Amino acid sequence: MPSGDPFFNLAADEFLLRNSSGEYFILSINERSLIIGKHQLSHRETNTRFVTENEIPVIRRISGGGTVFHDPGNLNFSFILNSTEGRQVDFRKYTRPVISFLASLGIDARFEGKSDLKIGGLKISGNAEYVFRNRVLHHGTLLFETDLDFLRNSIRKDTSNYGSGAVPSNPSPVTNLGGILKNVAGTERFRDLMLEWFLRNYPGAVVSTLSETEKERIAGLAESRYKTWDWNYAFGPPYVFRNLFMFDNRQVICELSVKDGIIDECLITGHSGLEEACRKLPGCRHMVEDVRQILDKENGFCPGFDIFNLF
């Protein structure tokens, strides 16, 4: 898929799954973004400070599983297939052709755990699935020349401040395929090789393009779902955020209860200015700029406070 827009590409997967009876194999290379599983908490899985300061979008997909990092060094693949009801979820089945393609390049990739592909114990691919009636969407990543420092910094390492029943990620050490495939010049060439392999090995497979009407409908879905705060942050189970930090030479204890992305209760002790300000936070979205605006309006609030203490 020629678009590098992660919002559009995630919407395209869902649109083709729900609005077509055709079967598809889709390859895409996205701009830098963090893609969380349907049942995850955005703030808990991502390093809120890092993604905010680096303007990295956090986008929820319709499938489950954990958080993955996308950038131009990562190749995304999707299978949209018809299947027998009750037998759709099968990670080994849908990763088998990917393993065969990598084997054709001399890569000994192994299926390990619930849904990962690894080389020598290092993860190169995370996978997730979503079932719609008698159809299944299976999508995964292939790390080729991803910025691994950005990947590591974007994902929250310590999630203990967040209490919730949401699905956690299961982080693993990762590696890039590009370091092994020295004769493959870049992610786009890697994508082209993968497409060529599938066209050769699946008789009847043809390259297809989206119609203008389909593009418009997909763009509409991207706007109405994948670019919205309601989907990317408010969706999911309630959670409690707790933190202990120093401010103005005092030890401060913070506890926020959040439901549907909105701060429901706020308790801060240890600093009178913050205690006063926190009384204004219930009803506020648990988002950096929303909380910052509330606190900046409070006369008792002290300058120099690190807003990310509340995330």
The confidence score (pLDDT) of residue 299 equals 55
DSSP per-residue codes, 205-232: -------HHHHHHHHHHIIIIIT-HIII
Record the pTM: 0.94
Average pLDDT, integer, range 168-192:
94
Report the greatest alpha carbon distance in the chain.
71
Mean confidence (pLDDT) of the chain: 94
> Which of 39, 41, 61 has the alpha carbon at shortest distance from 311?
41
> Which of 1, 30, 59, 49 has the alpha carbon at shortest distance from 222?
59
Query: What is the per-residue pLDDT across 149-164, written as a single tens digit (0 to 9) for each?
Result: 999 999 999 999 999 9
Query: What is the per-residue pLDDT across 199-258, written as a single tens digit (0 to 9) for each?
Result: 999 988 999 999 999 999 999 999 999 999 999 999 989 999 999 999 989 999 999 999
Query: What is the per-residue pLDDT across 274-309, written as a single tens digit (0 to 9) for each?
Result: 888 888 999 999 999 999 988 887 654 567 889 999
Lowest-confidence region among 69-73, 192-196, 255-259, 304-308:
304-308
Query: What is the per-residue pLDDT across 42-61, written as a single tens digit (0 to 9) for each?
Result: 999 999 999 999 999 999 99
Domain boundaries, the chain: 6-234, 239-310
The structural architecture, per CATH, of the domain 6-234 is 2-Layer Sandwich (3.30)
Cβ contact 23:82 at 8 Å: yes
**What are the two backbone dihedrals, phi and then psi, of residue 215, each rounded to the nearest 5 degrees?**
-60, -40
Q: Per CATH, which fold does 239-310 belong to? A: Enolase-like; domain 1 (3.30.390)
Res. 88 pLDDT band, cuts 50 70 90: confident
